[in-house]
Amino acid sequence: VSQVNTAVVGLGFMGSRWALAMFEHPAARLAFVSDVREDLGREIADALNTRYVRDPLEAAADSEVDGVVICTPEHLHVEPAVAAIEAGKAVMVEKPLAHTVVDAELIRDRAANLSVPVLVGHILRFEPRYAAAARAVRDGDIGAVQAIRGERVGLIGTQSILQGRTSIALYLAVHEFDLARWFAGEVKSLSAHKSAGVLERQGYEVDDLYSALLRFESGAHGTVLLGWLVPDDYPGRGLVGLTVIGESGVVRIDQDALGFVKVGKGGKEDDFFFDAEVEGKRYGVLSIEADHFVKCVQGTAEPLCTASDATEAVRLSLAMESSAQSGAPIYL
Ligand SMILES: NC(=O)c1ccc[n+]([C@@H]2O[C@H](COP(=O)([O-])OP(=O)(O)OC[C@H]3O[C@@H](n4cnc5c(N)ncnc54)[C@H](O)[C@@H]3O)[C@@H](O)[C@H]2O)c1
């Protein structure tokens, strides 16, 4: 199968990793990278032997590339994504697809009208434990799903990086609601509660925790616990896990059971999730996802998480926010 030309727009935590994954992929060529920060863009371009393009919209539509990876901050996905779609590129957009349902639907509909593949970076679909759980459900190994429970409570220190730029709904809940739909189908209704104040007192305009109760169209039900209130000393990324109970079996994932923590020079290191490195090459979840995206660009795979899936994750996450605000359940 032919080699594909790719570009990465936005070169922070995720984008720098995506650029490396494209650089290392045997069937991809990293044609260029783009970021509004010229110093960062040039540094990464030099390190990965590629060129730097300053304007992200020009980058997204460049005739040299077949596939564009968009890793700008959460609320800045729409413009580069639509520019790339309209130029006919295969697109990978980091989660959340967008910060509003209207923008998510815009990306979804534009891609559908132009028959452009869009993969949304719900990376957990590529994590071997979650993939095994999905297979168990799909193959009927645990019978019909009766209930699920997800938890994703990150470290307090997350805010020193995010600086309140996004919300629990759009940063964390989209992951859990995407998984919930993957495992148990469409959600019929949800109600939620939240608490706030601890992080506000530290100067961040974000809530602390959410609990949501879900009812699925299948009759199954479930709960999710979300937020960022785990002390930074806690090993790993926080309290993260998933339980799926079927009529004849159960699946349980402890995502925070990393099995490896190093505390020393460079601070706390536990990054086997994205970036497991052996003999100078990365084998983490991101490489698996990047490999899938290359296949989507080549036309040999369909996106495992579509813009339509990701739009529903945004819809459910914002519904959770509204329900917690109003105190009333939401019927989807
Ligand atoms: N899949 C995951 O597990 C995961 C993990 C972390 C972050 N994310 C998502 O990845 C996306 C990026 O997050 P991050 O943590 O890498 O953010 P970041 O702040 O580390 O990086 C964002 C980069 O985009 C650049 N940028 C800002 N505006 C731009 C624009 N208009 N055009 C081009 N570049 C621009 C910034 O200079 C910065 O280098 C977010 O949507 C985030 O939610 C996903």
Distance of CA 1 to the CA centre of its chain: 28
pLDDT, tens digit, 9 for 90 and up, residues 194-214: 999 999 999 999 999 999 999
Ligand 1 centre to CA of 41 (Å) is 13
Query: What's the whole-number average pLDDT of the chain?
Result: 94
CA 12–ligand 1 middle distance (angstroms): 5
In the predicted structure, residue 233 carries a pLDDT above the cut 90: no
Question: Ligand 1 centre and the CA of 67: distance in Å?
Answer: 18
- Give, using CA atoms, the residue closest to atom 5 of ligand 1: 14
At 80, the amino acid letter reads P
- Angle, alpha carbons 9-309-65 (nearest 5°): 30
- Mind listing the pLDDT tens digit for each residue in 10-40? 999 999 999 999 999 999 999 999 999 999 9
Q: How confident is the model at residue 255 (pLDDT cuts 50, 70, 90)?
A: confident
Q: State the number of CA atoms in the 13 A half-sphere of 296 facing the CB.
A: 26
Instruction: Give the gyration radius of the chain's Cα atoms.
Output: 20
Mutate to test the pocket of ligand 1, among 43, 68, 71 (most ligand atoms within 8 A of CB): 71
Q: Distance, CA 164 to ligand 1 centroid (Å)? A: 14
Distance 316 CA to ligand 1 centre (A): 22
Task: Provide the pLDDT confidence category of residue 271 given band limits of 50, 70 and 90.
Answer: low
CA atoms of 281 and 264, how far apart (whole Å)? 23
Backbone angles phi, psi at 188, to 5 degrees: -90, -40
Whose Cα sits closest to atom 38 in ligand 1?
12
Count other Cβ atoms within 10 Å, centred on residue 325: 10
| Cα 286-314-240 angle, rounded to 5 deg | 50
Percent residues over pLDDT 70 in the chain:
98
Please list the residues that pair with 78 across neighbouring strands: none
| Phi and psi at residue 306, to the nearest 5° | -85, 170
Residue with tokens 């199968």: 1
Supply 107's token pair. 């990306």
Instruction: Please give the Cα distance from 160 to 146 (Å, whole number).
Output: 39
Ligand 1 site, CB within 6 A: 9-15, 34-37, 40, 56, 71-74, 76, 94-95, 121, 123, 171
Please state, as a whole number, how many other Cβ atoms lie within 10 Å of the Cβ of residue 294.
Answer: 24
Whether the predicted model's global pTM rises above the 0.75 cut: yes
